[in-house]
Chains A and B, each alone.
Chain A
């Protein structure tokens, strides 16, 4: 990366004062994945992705050129290309300039400290624990590690250097019979964290194969989820989806500004709602928090080099701040956060979620359940759909359990529920305490034109909602 930066600085020096403000973002990413499916080790895969994003200000706005071609000649062509856009049909500006700082993932057991052969052996042991009985038709487990180094420099003199280590363990079992099939996973593949192999151990990955299998088989023989309007208790691995889709996306300032109307959609939230809109009950406290150690989208700076800090977005149920980086804040005239992020070197930064967490309350899981006379407990997201203004939603979970007389009762399959964001959160009537919190995340949040898939983190306790429409499968 130092060589690329040096070559780029030569290019910039040769341009002299003819070049306006600029930034250079270098991304150097290594991915490795090892997986086993139906007891067969799949061929390990790895990739090395390296390239640069060059942005410049010109006579008519800003332009960019991103390239994996990092020769001096090509970097010069990239600067010319970005400048041509900026001078003719440039985009929104001015170009934010980075501050100076560093961030690095804290890692206890580095990914490479355990040889590939040992990882394969452990996956084989795990796989053998996931099969059993004639109803299990598919089972798999995998580990995915990503190491990313980024350098962001700007004509203002700032330099941000960040190094990340991401781990994603995944496990899935499908059981089938009598014309039905049910799949159970380890937390909906949401045990995505920053760190090293200690993450795998901390989520109990190696010991949960049998449980995942038994639950898949159990679901196959369970009754369908009943239909009705009732209280529900959502586990953290469903709460993260609920937060993501019906709080995170609607609070993105670029949606509110209309940038996403052709693709990801708009938002029911309007600029005048910040500071006064009752988003949920007074139990609802939501933060943008990139400082949580080990959470998937923790970082020191966004991809425009702005300092990232913990910030309340919803306090005691009232909407106080949106999710928008420097440019969006300027355009809409509202404060935001440092969340202008890009999926890689080949995409420009846009407003993204990063870590969006629901702050814990005071109830134990038992207390949340005991407050329900006739309702449902749901775990692990498997289906998500919401309208383009992020209001009318329908979500489905892998596993449900009836709640009767304040006690968890039998398992039900195909639990689904639907509602409207603008009213759903006002029916939040119980928030779990710290003991119910799980720190989760996903590598697959899609948005933007051109499209970008990015990592987001969500930490949440279990939560209870009143008067929700629930239903089952066919």
Chain B
């Protein structure tokens, strides 16, 4: 058997290898046992850059299998990294099976046990269009020339598979890149940009870096120091991404709703509303995440979460279905969105400085957290190319400012409008694994935005 993560392996090999391991486990099932099995893996290259030079560079090849072994209402989960050798891996997963049986013997019945019994197999497999990562790094370094570019380019294959002893088989493999970078001036002003996708276009990389260089010139002016107060602001899609990421921390979760830990508590209990302009949905069809979750449930193509400012629906994991009696929509255990979609409005991004008239163009927000979660109030910092605008003309950068405001003001009574154009943002997170999450968001023009420090 060839190595499962060798350079010559294709994702087809990996799929076949995984399903073969599952079949060998199915042969060892006892009585009424049901096996759920998930595999996750990536073959990634990471190049970290500072001052347009490589700081750290290398490859990561990682794959892990998780089994959930069920007997009536008892079960336990365990995972193990795969070694790439059939003998070793068979030994590991069989041993895992025995361990889980032993653990399960100590467990009480799980009233919230839930797994998909309506087999819905499927496959999504892409062919790589990515160039040699050595060439990708070369293009970036050459294009940056003497500019102070800092950031990371991550690229390669990601795959997720699911199989159960009821005959279901799912496979999802993609090949993508995410180049996430900032350009800095000598006096520490910066512009942040990104380029992510499936097809790496050298000319596009050059153009985007050149555009960053051009924009950097506008933030080289002396920064304006603002006093705390309320300001009219435009939050660019990258800044909006930070806001919706915070709201995704329990805000769209049925468990968060039922246990009163949602930041939308006042929407559910006190009649608070967002602006009618705000419609949010989980749009799996338009995202890059798998269309199945870890116990085999399919995810619907679209789930509306907030419609015209009002609560419409929640993300519901299989366990929550049992606990709260709401049908699952294949949400992950955290019940957080993986492909959030916000409807655009009627503002034109190309003339947003004129629409703003006087206030702040906020390119990025940073390090958000709740200052009063139950009230939907959050704080965070401006970052990168945030600029002051007067009479529709960009004046220059500001010193970073802290905001502290509620979602009901920001995206409710003080929301003036959303841009017609939306950005597709591919999550650059690489904690443990490269993220497959994404979002499609407009920019937002907001009045009386509270800056506090």
Chain A residues in the interface with B (C-beta under 8 A): 38, 40-51, 55, 61-71, 73-74, 77-78, 81-82, 84-85, 88-92, 115-117, 120, 137-138, 174, 176, 179-183, 257-259, 261-263, 265-266, 346-348, 350, 383-389, 392, 394, 396, 414, 416, 418, 420, 446, 449-453, 472-474
Q: Do the beta carbons of A387 and B400 come within 8 Å of each other?
A: yes
Measured between alpha carbons, how far is A73 from B96 in the docked complex, in Å?
A: 25
Q: Is the CB of B82 within 8 A of A77?
A: no
> Is B383 part of the contact surface with A, judged by Cβ < 8 Å?
yes
Q: Shortest beta-carbon distance, B136 to chain A, in Å?
A: 10
Tell me if B110 and A45 are in contact (CB < 8 A): no
In the complex, the answer to whether B56 meets A386 with C-beta atoms within 8 Å is no
Which chain B residues (305-323) contact chain A, with CB distance < 8 Å?
Answer: 323
By a CB distance below 8 angstroms, the chain B residues around A473 are 371-372, 374-375, 377
Closest 7 pairs (CB-CB, A-B)? A69-B84, A64-B58, A473-B372, A176-B260, A474-B375, A138-B259, A450-B430
Q: Does B370 contact A383, Cβ atoms closer than 8 Å?
A: yes
Q: Which of B62-104 contact A (CB under 8 A)?
A: 62-64, 66, 68, 75-85, 88, 92, 96, 99, 103
A66→B181 contact, CB < 8 A: no
B152 at the A interface (CB under 8 A): yes
Q: Which residues of B contact A262 (CB under 8 A)?
A: 150-152, 180-182, 192
A-B CB contact pairs (8 Å), 11 listed: A41-B108, A49-B80, A81-B59, A89-B141, A137-B260, A138-B261, A387-B381, A388-B366, A394-B371, A418-B402, A474-B377
The answer to whether A69 and B82 touch across the interface, beta carbons within 8 angstroms, is yes
Q: Which of B180-223 contact A (CB under 8 A)?
A: 180-182, 184, 188, 190, 192
Instruction: Decide: B110 and A41 in contact? CB cutoff 8 A.
Output: yes
Nearest-neighbor residue (CB-CB) of B380 within chain A: A385
Residues of B within 8 A of A450 (CB): 44, 46, 48, 60, 152, 154, 430, 434
User: What sequence of 0s and 1s flags, for each residue 409-453 of chain B, a beta carbon within 8 Å of any chain A beta carbon?
Assistant: 000000000000000000001111010000000000000000011
The verdict on B379 contacting chain A, using a C-beta distance below 8 Å, is yes
Kindly provide the distance from the CB of B124 to the nearest chain A CB, expressed in whole angstroms. Answer: 24
Within 8 A of A (CB), among B1-16: 3-7
**Pick the contact of B402 from A117, A394, A414 — CB < 8 Å?**
A394
**A91-B56, A450-B152 given; A181·B6 CB < 8 A:** no
CB distance B406 to A474 under 8 Å?
A: yes
Task: Kindly list chain A residues whose C-beta atoms are within 8 Å of the C-beta of B48.
Answer: 91, 259, 449-450
Interface presence of B266 (CB below 8 A): yes
Identify the closest chain A residue to B384 (Cβ).
Answer: A388
Which residues on the B side are within 8 Å of A43 (C-beta)?
68, 75-77, 107, 110, 113
Tally chain B residues at the interface, Cβ within 8 Å.
98
Contact residues in B for A78 (Cβ distance below 8 Å): 59, 61
Instruction: Evaluate contact between B367 and A386: CB separation under 8 angstroms.
Output: yes
A383, B180: Cα distance in complex, Å: 27
Given that A262-B180, A388-B400 are contacting pairs, would A66 and B54 also be in contact in the complex, using a CB cutoff of 8 Å?
no
Known: A41-B110, A258-B50. A73 touches B6 (CB 8 A): yes
Shortest Cβ distance from B180 into A: residue: A262
Q: Are A49 and B64 in contact (CB under 8 A)?
A: yes
Decide if B167 is an interface residue (CB 8 Å cutoff).
no
Pairwise interchain contact B54-A40, C-beta atoms closer than 8 A? no
Given contacts A67-B61, A416-B371, contact A40 B78 (CB under 8 A): no
A137–B259 touching, CB < 8 Å = yes
Contacts A89-B54, A261-B184; is A181 near B261 (CB within 8 Å)? yes
- A261 and B84 in contact (CB under 8 A), knowing A40-B110, A91-B55? no
Q: Which chain A residues border B138 with CB–CB below 8 Å?
A: 89
List the B side residues contacting A388 at CB < 8 Å: 366-367, 381, 383, 400
Chain B residue, CB-CB nearest to A72: B85
| Alpha-carbon distance A401/B419, docked complex (angstroms) | 45
Q: Answer whether A45 and B429 are a contact pair too, CB < 8 Å, given A386-B367, A414-B372.
A: no
| A175 shortest CB reach to chain B, Å | 9
- In the complex, chain B residues whose CB is within 8 Å of the CB of A89: 47, 54, 57, 134, 137-138, 141
- Of A137, A258, A261, A388, most buried by chain B (CB within 10 Å of CB) is A261
With contacts A85-B57, A115-B106, A473-B372 known, is A385 near B260, CB below 8 A? no
For B8, give the chain A residue with the smallest CB separation. Answer: A77
Is B34 located at the chain interface by the 8 A CB criterion? no
Contact A138 B375 (CB under 8 A): no
Q: How far is the CB of A232 from chain B (nearest CB, A)?
A: 16
* Complex CA distance for A453 and B106, rounded to whole angstroms: 31
Select A449's contact among B60, B80, B151, B266, beta carbons within 8 Å: B151
Contacts of B3 in A (CB 8 A): 69, 71, 73-74, 77
B contact residues around A45 at 8 Å (CB): 76-79
Q: Tell me the smallest distance from the CB of A399 to a CB of chain B, in Å.
A: 14
- Complex interface: chain B residues within 8 A of A258 (CB): 50-51, 148, 150, 184
A258 to B149, CA, bound (A): 10
How far, in angstroms, from A416 to B379 measured CA to CA in the complex? 11
In the assembled complex, B265 has its CB within 8 A of some CB on chain A: yes
Q: Do A90 and B150 touch across chains, with their CB atoms under 8 A apart?
A: no
Complexed CA–CA distance, A161 and B105 (Å) = 35
